[in-house]
Structure 1
């Protein structure tokens, strides 16, 4: 349940956020609405499981720590929060724009459950409610991202206080999460017309640019010298590729008996169904004699 699991969850959030961008400029509104529904489904696939995964990952950090070579991967949960906030803001804004242009409900349909036609005013009120909830949800996720970013920075500072961090490809794990926080901060600055969020987004963007330039130079140098790649799994088992793997089954295996029904009949075991049939036949004989 490490950062590799989170990367698979983040992909769905990235797809939802990237799909929300062209929807805001789509002229075929029925297709744009379908894409927005797909974006919400993708957020359910990626964002919700990542929120459930975070407590497990935090417990692992507290109990087992992380190797110094991959300590930078503690930034990965920040990407889940930042990308989720960015996606919610864009999807809510796109749905409201589609409702303003079409007069239909945000997710489609012109009638309610009772068969009454929904007026454009009511549809716009629904879109405004979704838009407001998207803003509040974006703020919640962005705040959670700040918490995880604090954990990551403190973890790296704790490691640097006692040892050195190996410079390898794992350093790239810090670029995307901080970039998502910068993008969501800039978007919230636009949505709320907030100078504070715009400044925070600008500062985070500058940090990301410096981080990418620094890590890119290290990657080029380490790649030239052949010291770039680091396999933590191989290092844990001595640094050599194993020729065979031990049995990974964690429970005792017992083969399922074949032809269980035939074995029961051969052993003389009578099941409840046969008992009920014999009892009914006995009652039939008794009734026949009585008559």
Structure 2
């Protein structure tokens, strides 16, 4: 493995035009003496082995090319340091990991999974959410009420027809109080935000919706931090992850539960919190030594 201080910040063609943090990350790394470059993950001409590390950032819409993406992850991980590592990416790219968290005693939003060919079961009462297990930014996701069972069933059938496993969750009513996103660097808490609900419309799949509406700073309490630590401990690695985001919502009784554990390409909200960019790029730099 070549010894160099070049770092590739992996994004996508979409991310190169839409991720406003990418040029800031590259610039911050360069200011630390790192030869940093932003590259689309599916750029077949780039020599990934020339890098001391490859940091996965906005590889957005990889879910449209799952097999190609995982092949890329494996090939890059074989020639250089990949953050986060291949075994973590493989585990985290399918939201069936929520079942693993639940098996480890981590409180999560109750979730049922239905593979193609399996008939979905919707809650008898209350609203619920349907989405594919490989998804990001609430794409191909919708919220339904009891009277929308036929529409929800058609949604499931369309996802199954594409070979997707579907997940059904009760709609968390206290999401109106804000979804929390706790960000960790190297296993240490960095900062958190709270955002408004995403699935505001009922019975609608809207892939153009804003993924993070109404962002505000959030000061997590001890219960939220403890929950996040338990979720991170369940990841299939013994080493602290370069980055992680734990998305948390409140159950009806006010206790926190994991909505998602984001370990591949989450928005880390680096520009909205004092010191976040320095902490992140400083850790990337320090891990090169």
TM range (shorter): under 0.3
TM-score by length of 1: 0.26
More helix by share: 1
